[in-house]
Structure 1
Amino acid sequence: MYVFQFMDEVNITYITLNGYVEMNRLKYLYFTVMLMVYILIFLCNGTVFYIICFHKNLHEPMYIFIAALLFNSVVYSTTIYPKLLIDFLSERQIITYSSCIIQLFMFYSVGGTEFFLLAVMAFDRYVSICKPLRYPTIMRKSTVTSLLVLAYFVPACHIAGEAILISKVQLCHSELDGIFCNNGIFTLHCVKSRALTIFGIFSLLDLVMLPVLFTIFTYTKILIISYKNSKAFRRKAAETCVPHLLVLISFSYLSTYDVVIARVESDFPKPARFVMTLQIFLYQPLFNPFIYGLKMKEISKHLKKLLSFSTI
């Protein structure tokens, strides 16, 4: 009842994005840099994705999950960059409330998928390294397909429910201290919704904490088993597990900022907030293809052949 009490008094259709710094002076520089980064994200992720799809010897669960992760990086970037590029060249940085909710839904559902994919990849590595004889029977095509469907479907359902609740909450403010629609949207609500808070905590536990804990537990098991085996076994485990752990640490760090800091109303300096927000969608989409393209032996081998062929 209290959530909707302002519905007849306030009717906010557009939200102003106030998180930009020095827009009048640096907007063309921002636009050029972000456009180049966006193109680079497409090229880097697309190249490794093409290598995995094109070469049959890479049609294994581990590489299929990597391809899904790279595809997810492109979708993740596309939820932010097009609107960002438009804002850089616009006199006013605004977005409709409905578009804001759609952007929030896409951003967090794809982000949840990232954590699920990393957990799935950890499970795949555990079976491959710790139960090699049972690997073909456990990681069948049907299993891989089911895991991929769950990785995309579960986060989307979670965030869809939260997005529907957000759309029904009335706004009392129209100025968002950010450059895209994320958790900061809760600071615009007239009254804090208990249902949304509970739903948000449940989503955080289900989409982030559980996959992260499962991934850490799985890699701990792998490290314990690897420690008891030969150097060659430990080297093989390190080659496949280290890239996944680097990606998990990087994405967890950025997600922690977005979930905790971005939602807290504080005197966090605007330039610092701007820089930290940029990191959320700058590093990770570029980080993934470089990590997997350089650290995974089979992908690196095909990548070198592709680059040498293109220079002829």
Structure 2
Amino acid sequence: MPKKPRPGAVRKSKKGPKVGTGGHSRKSLEGRGPTPKAVDREYHPAGKRAAAAAKSAGKTTGKPGARDTRRPGPGGSRGSRKTTSVEVVAGRNAVVEALREGIPATALYVAHQIDADDRVKEAISIAGAKGIALLEASKIDLDRLTDGYFHQGLALQVPAYKYAHPEDLVARALKAGEVPLIVALDGITDPRNLGAIIRSTAAFGGHGVVVPERRAASVTASAWKTSAGAAARIPVAKAANLTRTLQAYKSQGLFVLGLDMAGDVELPSLELGREPVVIVVGSEGKGLGRLVRETCDQIVSIPIAATTESLNAGIAAGVTLYEVARSRA
């Protein structure tokens, strides 16, 4: 007579007594391991965001309606770095100026049935002579390409800006046999201010502009447009650490002048303008950072009417550059 298996414990419930397994099904109670991270779960919001970011990082297209909005990679290292993303210069004046200066454009987009004036004709002529692709686009495509910017039916696609090294700016001045004049930006985040400062630097004989790698404006389409083509003539360098870059300039014999309302000297009395100088422009709201201010050899202020609280960063840089150029003349 076969031996009956020993029954497990009897559990009483509303449905009546139930015989247990005696532990034979214990393996079915084992866990499935640790819970996956949120980014690894396909249907979790974090997972969806990670998947979208990975998709956009590897996505490039040449269609007129698409625009790569990724920022250029950090510069400031010897040889400079260049990304594969593109920028768009929009507006008839900006496009013509950029083409005149010979920026390395890859395509010129012209609106369908555009009202062609002298600027449009010149842009098409220069682009054709340089072998730049001419593409007809609808207004909708141009709006998408320029992010809704006022393009006036004309847009120029240019590769990502190639940044210089901060040391290259001094070398550029010495090669030309000129006294170095460099502008450094501390906390300027508006690319239009950057473009205006680049334009002023070109107008008054400067040799370049330095911007920090982080929390600062880059040479984007807005900066290109505001510079009116000057970004093709004036190199912009990126500094991994602005304070150390300024200290390196000082070790090469340059004086660092910071712009601030509470300055040690007012602009008309500036005597260091004839010397090799770096003019540091701070943000309109916060001004110069503490470490940058402590690095400056002199703090310079611009006298203005008492009813005016402060000057725009781009205007302040332009006024100072003019005064330095006048003193050197």
TM-score (norm 2): 0.23
Structure with the greater relative contact order (CA < 8 A, sep ≥ 6): 1 or 2?
Answer: 1
- Structure showing greater radius of gyration is 2
More helix by share: 1
TM-score (norm 1): 0.24
More strand by share: 2
